Structure 1
C-alpha cells in the first residue's frame, strides 16, 4: 500500500499537490500549522496510485511518499 505523509510544518498551503493529484485524493484541511498556513490531508489513501505528482510538485518538500510492504502472511 502507498503512504503519503504531509509534513505540515513545511507546508505553505499553496495547493499545488491538490491540483496535481490525478485521483483528487488530497484536500485542504481546516487546521493551521505553526506558520499559520492551512495544509492538506489525504483522503482514502488506499486509492493512491503512487504517481508521486504531489511529491514532485511541492515547492517546499513537504510531502513524503512510501510504499509499505504488504503482509502476505
Structure 2
C-alpha cells in the first residue's frame, strides 16, 4: 500500500487555486481562514483519497506544495 502525503506551506500559498483545479481526485480546497498575508491558502481536505500524482506541486507558482509517497511495509 502506498501512503501519500501532501504538505502545503500555507504562508507561501497565495490561494490561486491552480492545485485545486488540476487535482484529479479533488482532495484540495481553499481554507476558510486567512494566512498572515491575507490569502485563503489551499489545504488538503481528503488525504486518504490522494493518489500522490504530484500535479498540485508541479502547477504551484509559489512552490508551496510538496508531495511525498511512501510504501507501507
User: TM-score under structure 1 normalisation?
Assistant: 0.90
| Secondary structure at 1:32 match in 2 | coil
User: How many correspondences in the alignment?
Assistant: 71
Q: Which runs of 4+ in 1 moved over 2 A?
A: none
The two structures, once aligned, show a CA RMSD in angstroms of: 1.0
Deviation at residue 46 of structure 1 after TM alignment = 1.4
Deviation at residue 69 of structure 1 after TM alignment = 4.1
Q: Which runs of 5+ in 2 are unaligned?
A: none
8 Å contact kept, 2:28–2:46: no
Q: Which runs of 5+ in 1 are unaligned?
A: none
User: TM-score under structure 2 normalisation?
Assistant: 0.90
Deviation at residue 68 of structure 1 after TM alignment = 3.0
Give the structure with the larger helix fraction: 1
